[in-house]
A and B are shown apart, each in its own frame.
Chain A
Amino acid sequence: MRFRLKEGGRIDRTQRLRFTFNGQSYEGFAGDTLASALIANGTHLTSRSFKYHRPRGILTAGAEEPSALVQLGEGARTEPNLRATQVELYDGLTATGVNAWPSANCDFAAWTGRFAPLFPAGFYYKTFLWPASFWKSLYEPVIRRMAGLGRAPEAPDPDSYDKMNVHCDVLVVGGGPAGIAAALAAGEAGARVLLVDEQAALGGALLGLRHHVDGADGAAWAEAAANRLATMPEVRVLTRTTLFGYYDHNSLSALERRTDHLGPRAPAGTGRQRLWHIKAGRVVLATGAHERPLVFADNDRPGVMLASAAQRYVNHYAALPGERAVLFTNNDAAYEAAHDIVEAGGTVGAVVDCRPEPAAPLAPALKQAGVPLHIGSVIAATHGTKRVRSVTVAKLGEGGGPSSEQYRIYCDSVLASGGWNPAVHLFSQSAGKLAFEEARGIFLPGQATQAVEVTGAANGSFGLAGCLAEGAAAGARAAQAAGFGDGTAPPIPSSDAPEPGAITPYWLAPGQKPVGHGKAKHMVDHQDDVTAADIRLAAREGFRSVEHVKRYTTVGMGTDQGKTANVNGLAILADALGKTVPEVGFTTYRPPYTPVTFGALAGRDTGPLMDPLRRTAMHEWHEAEGAVFEPVGQWHRPWWYPKPGEDNHAAVARECRAVRDAVGILDASTLGKIDIKGPDAATLLDMIYTNAFSTLKVGRVRYGLMCGDDGMVFDDGTTARLGENHYLMTTTTGNAAHVLEWLEEWLQTEWPELKVYCTSVTEQWATVALAGPKARDVLAALAPDMALDTDSFPFMSVKEGTVAGVDARVFRISFTGELSFEINVPWHHGRHLWEALMEAGAAHGIAPYGTEAMHVLRAERGFIIVGQETDGTTTPHDLGMDWIVSKKKPDFLGKRAWSREDTRRDDRKQLVGILTDDPGTVLPEGTQLVDRPGRPPLPMIGHVTSSYASPALGRSIALALVKGGRGRKGETVHAAPESGFVPCKITEPVFYDSEGAKRDG
């Protein structure tokens, strides 16, 4: 730790920590970040840049870091693109710089830098456009290898994550001087306060400064404040917590890193991170400010860093940025960084100030310490390869260009400061308007949309005294607005910090050659490798909108959202367009402020907890029989029941044959069941269904289609009339909740005068479908008191009685074409009924069948499945189901739409059967149909909706929607699966027992 100061800093020198970075071993102290530990070891080179693979180092000391991105850890716990400036050091930490192959020090792809002309602004759109085949085979793989930052872990995440919801009167974001003052004021007023801060301890910028508050060291004052806040019962402080999203109605989200700083010593059973969903009465944003880099030639060379970052490394981490630093600034405040380095015993080789006549209060002290001052000068070049070794300082001449008066100054670090940008990201997310202040060249919070106030440096008050006073006032006001206190701020702590002083905005320092000429790069966006020349090129190519320039050049589009880049980029664009910054406008910040792990967003809602799994009463029986399950909505339904040695085709064929030849049994419990009661139940159903239900006799069942008022089919099912004012509706499995909502919506919003109750009873009744010529024999054995002959129990009727000793409702309906009974018993009797039926059916060769066999059987019979044969643009007429559309009812949902011209077109897609000329070919569902083979593009005439190998027919069958298909029966068309064209014939959409002779057994 050659660059570690002998004393000072806020690190724990009693705890030495070992870590590995880019394969090399280092030591640091507890309290270090990865970045500060590297700097203490003299390592600035961390990684390679995104596009040109230029060597990159540590630019900042915080969340705004664009370039020192690392891949932390290994295996399942590895995490990409973390900012080394925010990774807290722990013993055994392992990390590598991103984007470097094989290593940051010896990068294989750095030669791309020599081909930089290939990567101008908009290179995505230009260089690689032609020929197309080159893109797939050459450019894309190469670019993917070289660009693209870190690697995602490939194994499942072994950590757990939690979510918390919290309500507070006042949320204070940021635990610097302004935020602490606000939280103290609001807390003392009695409000429920939540204070969140991304660092390990409160203090914010104070931790990197040498100033005093109330006579105490800034960090000590912050610690005392934290202790005071801890005594307030209604105040909660969350450190290591980043408020990353500000949404509507003061809903905010924060990510708390609970164990990341412990590395492998994280206690087992503690969630690694916690996602906080916060609902705040008032929000105080005390998010501070980010120092703005200066844009100068080769300003991305490792060793070049923000002045305030160097100052923080010295004061907070007792780490010098190097042997010899040069400060480059356009403002007075940055002199403090040079001053602190000198005070700490470091060497500052020069101060370069671009202003012609600066009057920084600290200039005399620096001069006295022997630091030369170059005023009206810029850094026109940096030299070195993987670390800056010297800079060329040029006196500015007339017109702002470099004069011939130039000096070479040896240094290994450059501290650059272009002033400060208020961190208005969260305010912008909250839909607050930003206002540009010309004098300091900054965006300030303007008109707020939500109950929020911005305070301190985030509001442009860069002085410590101002932060403390503004924060306290804001906290008191917020508490008062939430109903606590009278809005009077508590006494303001005193401080010894100087005012921030003067600044002259300076956007682009000239190099030795004109910008964009020669090899030097004026880097604006360090993460995306966007230069000033790129932005100027975009302007020359006609881009005017800042949103377009952003996308074309990719400035600000990295994981850092351009925290250090955006304002510089905008000002350079405005200059190139000859406009002012406000005229060019600003892009909107969006969540997240810094990246959030997917693990935290998912929380515990992973694996089996991701979505509720619904199981029927017979589920365990199916499992024991080795059923393969199919997810249908949230249900798991048996798909087929393979016997040993059977594949799915064999199992389904066997199950189909059992139903056609003997008897099969299906768990139909998942079908939606809605109990509909009330004097107006019949009126409601007459409006909801295309056919009439008021005419249905008690004890009878009718199949119905439901349409929207646009005339399109959206559900089907059978409905039984159980009493004069009592119906039981069934719906498709996946649509049950939707249909119930559909009924409720009409009842509540359009026909509130109807007296009807609708109740979901899906999970009250277990349902077993018993289908096949032997179904009656099996049921008779279990229901001796029930008359089952066709006259007593005709097709489409319902009976109540006792089956297998339990109360049951039995429906004589059929979805297979065979004689069929659907037996409903109370849910908890489902398994009992199922096993009784299996036992009674054993002698008849009963076989359980799954949803796949059900689909085959119904398709053979030409029964549709809504959502498969329909797609939201299908009318009953398209399905050939005119028979179910009432001609008598004056009104029902859908009716009006069918007199529209469009729904009467002859060339609408209509349901037909499709038989491939080769009976062995089973077309994939979704296959497009064309009139004749040929070279694409070909006009599409329809598509296959259902397709199976039919055991009953001994060949393949398919249903399809074909334009004008009903008039084309017998014609040959061609299916176009990926394998080539398949000739087939259009047929009736019924393949089996079209007379319905088998339904009575």
Chain B
Amino acid sequence: MLWIDCPWCGPRPETEFRYGGEAHIARPEPAATDDAAWADYLFMRTNPKGVHAERWMHREGCRRWFNALRDTVSNDVVAIYPMGAPRPDASGDEAGDD
């Protein structure tokens, strides 16, 4: 059971949250996106061993979405940051695009 520090409600058990998959995947401009790039947006996700930027939503609480950096090896949540904010500095990966 992960414990996630909701920026609005404080630390809460994982069962209160919905996992939202990888963060910083912006919806591309459809007309300017070829099939391969559209498929990439729809289906392709990174699966790093280490720090992963991902989205969470506090479903049983404030129902707000936010981003988190989680180490997929230790499950440590190393950062929580708002939707739309750039990925904070954390070891092992480049900054996000959104």
A positions within 8 Å CB-CB of B: 247-249, 251, 277, 279, 431, 449-450, 709-710, 741, 744-745, 748-750, 752, 890-891, 895-897, 899-901
Contacts and interface: CB of A to CB of B under 8 A. Distances in A.
25 contacts: A248-B75, A249-B3, A251-B1, A251-B3, A251-B13, A277-B1, A279-B3, A279-B13, A431-B74, A449-B73, A450-B74, A709-B27, A709-B41, A709-B42, A744-B63, A744-B65, A745-B57, A745-B65, A748-B83, A749-B55, A749-B65, A749-B83, A750-B27, A752-B84, A896-B33
A891 to B, nearest CB: 5
A748 B3 contact: no
B42 A710 contact: yes
Interface residues of B, number: 27
Contacts of B3: 249, 251, 279
B40 to A, nearest CB: 12
B10 interface: no
Contacts, number: 60
Contacts of A749: 20, 55, 65, 83
B22 to A, nearest CB: 12
Q: Which 5 A-B pairs have CB atoms at the shortest separation, nearest pair first?
A: A251-B1, A896-B30, A748-B65, A249-B3, A248-B75
A899 B30 CA distance: 11
Contacts of A890: 31
A244 to B, nearest CB: 14
Contacts of B31: 890-891, 896
B95 interface: no
B52 to A, nearest CB: 14
Contacts of B30: 891, 895-896
Contact of B38 (A247, A251, A900): A900
B18 interface: yes
B90 interface: no
Contacts of B94: none
Nearest to B18: A741
A449 B76 CA distance: 9
B67 to A, nearest CB: 9
A448 to B, nearest CB: 10
Residue among B30, B64, B65 with most chain A CB within 10 A: B30
Contacts of A752: 83-84
Most buried by B among A249, A431, A745: A249
Contacts of A901: 35
Interface string B29-48: 01101010011011000000
A613 to B, nearest CB: 19
B2 interface: yes
A619 B58 CA distance: 32
A114 B10 CA distance: 64
Nearest to B41: A709
Best-buried of B33, B41, B42, B84 by chain A (most CB within 10 Å): B42
Nearest to A449: B74
Interface of B: 1-3, 13, 18, 20, 26-27, 30-31, 33, 35, 38-39, 41-42, 55, 57, 59, 63-65, 73-75, 83-84
A897 B64 CA distance: 28
A248 B13 CA distance: 11
A752 B26 CA distance: 13
A249 B1 contact: yes
Given A450-B74, A750-B26, 19 more contacts: A247-B1, A248-B75, A249-B3, A279-B3, A431-B75, A709-B42, A710-B42, A741-B57, A744-B65, A745-B57, A748-B64, A749-B65, A750-B27, A752-B83, A891-B31, A896-B38, A897-B42, A899-B35, A900-B35
Nearest to A891: B30
A276 B55 CA distance: 30
| Residue in A251, A896, A897 with the greatest tally of chain B CB atoms within 10 Å | A896
Given A709-B42, A896-B33, A896-B38, A741 B59 contact: yes
B2 A249 contact: yes
Contacts of B83: 748-749, 752
B3 to A, nearest CB: 5
Contacts of B35: 899-901
Contacts of A896: 30-31, 33, 38
Given A709-B42, A752-B84, A249 B65 contact: no
Contacts of A248: 1-2, 75
Contacts of A748: 57, 64-65, 83
A450 B73 CA distance: 11
A900 B36 CA distance: 9
A761 to B, nearest CB: 16
Nearest to B77: A249
Contact of A249 (B38, B42, B75): B75
Contacts of B1: 247-249, 251, 277
Contacts of A744: 57, 63, 65
B1 to A, nearest CB: 4
Nearest to A277: B1
A47 B26 CA distance: 63
Nearest to A894: B30
A901 B36 CA distance: 11
Nearest to A708: B42
Nearest to A893: B27
Nearest to B63: A744
Contacts of B2: 248-249, 251
A25 to B, nearest CB: 47
Nearest to A710: B42
A248 B75 CA distance: 7
Contacts of B38: 896-897, 900
Contacts of A450: 74
Contacts of A249: 1-3, 75
Nearest to A890: B31
